[in-house]
A = this chain, B = another copy of it.
């Protein structure tokens, strides 16, 4: 365990500390992937693990993502707890069959005899000026696949605590790390324990409407809530933290109270995670809603080149526009009247 001290910690460092502490706590934990050894990962999340724990517990593999995930499945069968890194979101796609047909299903297929306690770490989403294939928001693919837990921290403390929990979890976890938050910092004392899987957290209480966000969209929602104050709206912000399991309780309680809801996600909107959230909220809160649940999402296009990504990413303005459309005057949204 690291010593308990409060310092400014980046999310990248918190993740590194979580891996480090997990490896110290449990010899079955092994870390592997592309460039995670000597280099410490292209984002340095595995920095120093090779030096501390040796070649056997932190090592580079051939460049083959299905291989990496499948190798982890085999290692888990032998009793280990592999933590693997996919270098970028879109580079996890070659492992899609291993993830959906094996990782997600093995416990179920074997009636519990073979669990797959592996963590698949995926640096995801954009906002870092990355070229194509480096900025996909792939959470919906995983969230739609039963058997996977899907986790994405929106702050430094969660990065540490949720990753520790993911490694200890008996089930496979797709751990989505918002790249653009890697180098955001917070005063934190590690190790830290935040609420567990399946618990959303109200990051900012408010009365007038609920913003629901996760991962990279959490800071956007918080910023929007601050800005909204000037326009006279008191917005509540919920950070989902884990998409699967989903915390209906916290979400439903908030929206029933505020009566209005906007979901903020960075991924392309169509059939994304925000659709699930909107669908659930209106199912459960219909009689409390004064306006439809609105979604602010990425455009339904392939992730754009760096020079144009600002047009794709849901920003504060779009969130505020959506809040403005929450029918405060109790009139139907003109936008949809024609459609």
Residues of A that sit less than 8 Å from B by CB:
66, 90, 93-94, 96-97, 100-101, 104-105, 108-109, 132-133, 136, 140-141, 143-144, 146-147, 243-244, 246, 248-249, 252, 267-268, 270-276, 278-280, 282-287, 289, 291-295, 300-302, 332-333, 336, 339
Once the chains bind, are B144 and A105 in contact (CB under 8 Å)? Answer: no
Q: Which of B146, B246, B332 contacts A302 (CB 8 A)?
A: B146
Q: Which of B101, B141, B146, B271 contacts A268 (CB 8 A)?
A: B146
Number of copies: 2
A94's nearest neighbour on chain B, judged by CB, is B97
Once the chains bind, are A93 and B97 in contact (CB under 8 Å)? Answer: yes
Once the chains bind, are B144 and A333 in contact (CB under 8 Å)? Answer: no
Once the chains bind, are A100 and B108 in contact (CB under 8 Å)? Answer: no
A136's nearest neighbour on chain B, judged by CB, is B100
Nearest 8 interchain pairs by C-beta: A93-B97, A96-B96, A278-B279, A286-B292, A144-B271, A275-B275, A275-B276, A275-B279
| With A276-B271, A282-B292: A302-B93 Cβ-Cβ less than 8 Å | no
Once the chains bind, are A270 and B339 in contact (CB under 8 Å)? Answer: no
Q: Which of B108, B136, B275 contacts A271 (CB 8 A)?
A: B275
| With A271-B143, A292-B283, A336-B283: A109-B132 Cβ-Cβ less than 8 Å | yes
A305's nearest neighbour on chain B, judged by CB, is B109
Once the chains bind, are A105 and B132 in contact (CB under 8 Å)? Answer: yes
Q: B residues within 8 A CB of A295? A: 279, 283
Once the chains bind, are A294 and B283 in contact (CB under 8 Å)? Answer: yes
CB distance from A191 to the nearest CB of B (A): 32
Once the chains bind, are A97 and B96 in contact (CB under 8 Å)? Answer: yes
Q: B residues within 8 A CB of A144? A: 140-141, 267-268, 270-272
> Apart from A278-B279, A279-B295, A286-B332, what 15 extra A-B contacts exist at CB < 8 Å?
A66-B94, A93-B101, A104-B302, A109-B302, A143-B271, A144-B272, A147-B302, A244-B270, A252-B336, A271-B275, A272-B276, A275-B278, A278-B282, A283-B294, A284-B336
Once the chains bind, are B101 and A249 in contact (CB under 8 Å)? Answer: no
Q: B residues within 8 A CB of A284? A: 292, 336, 339
Once the chains bind, are A100 and B90 in contact (CB under 8 Å)? Answer: yes
